[in-house]
Structures are given as C-alpha cells and as structure tokens.
Copies of this chain bind each other. A is one copy, B any other.
Amino acid sequence: MSEDFLIEMGYAGLTGRLKRLSDAFMYQTRDFYREHDSEIEPNWHMIFLLLQKNETMTVTEIADALQLSHPAIVKLINKMKKRGYINSNLDPKDNRRYNLVLSQKAKKELPVLEAYWEAGNKALEEMLEHNTLLLEQLEQLEARMAEADFKTRMDKLLINE
C-alpha cells in the first residue's frame, strides 16, 4: 500500500501536493524565524526584495509584481507597518496613493535577514539538487495557466466528452 495517496492519484493529486508543499515551506519558515527570535514573517521576504530593488512602491504596484490580489498586500503591509518595518507616505501628487518604503529599522536588520535568506536559498538549491528543472516546469505550467486557465480547459474538455 502506498504511503501517499495524493501521489498515487497522479494528475488529480497535483493541486493538493502543491498546497501541501507550499504550506510546509511556509510553516517551517515561520518556525525558523521564531526560533531565531525574529519578528519577521515568511512572505515579507518578497516585499523586502521588491522595496530594496525599487525604493518605493504602492500597494497596487506590489500586487501586480507579485500577482496577488491587492487585499492580500494590504494585509501584509499593515502588519509590516505595525511592526515598524515599512513607512507609508501619502503621494503629494496623487492623494489616493501611498508610497511605501522600508523603514530605518528594516534597513538596519537587513544584514541579518540576508543571512537567513541566503540559508533559505541554499537549502532550496540543495533540495532541488542544484538544478532548475522544477522551476522550469513550474514556469511552463504558469504560462499554460496564463494562456487558458484550468476552469476554461475543464469546461471545454467536458463538453467534448
């Protein structure tokens, strides 16, 4: 008897396995930060990197860059603001927008965080056995999803059944 029914399910188990894996990464990353007495949370990483690269961005720009919904970003940013990692300034030219920047506190902590992230990258490389096959396969799947999403394809294939 197989140990893992989702794997046994083949194609049909894919979705569940993606969820299970991403959850596992998330919870373990959270534990890692906690055990290192860091206030940082798992997916602040991508916000930090974006704001390092671009200096200042708005909620909508971040949502676009990460391809997440804007309420997801609002929640993330609010927590980072509350903890003092992000400053938000009303745009003087457009009073709808808030320009978000990393705070001094965030910048001061960056060296420590970068050591963590470097360890994370190395751990991932190790787990992927230093090749990018999985990343490439994922990128193809993302591209297929962008061309025609899963639901559209299901509908089409159901009609022709």
**A residues whose Cβ falls under 8 Å from a Cβ of B:** 4-7, 9-26, 28-29, 31-32, 42-43, 45-46, 49-50, 65-68, 115-129, 133-135, 137-142, 144-145, 149-151, 153-155, 157-158, 161
A133 touches which one: B24, B125, B127, B133 (CB < 8 A)?
Answer: B133
A127-B144 in contact (CB<8A): yes
A21-B18 in contact (CB<8A): yes
Interface of A is mostly: helix
* Residue numbers in B under 8 Å from A137 (CB-CB): 133-134, 137
A117-B12 in contact (CB<8A): yes
A28-B149 in contact (CB<8A): yes
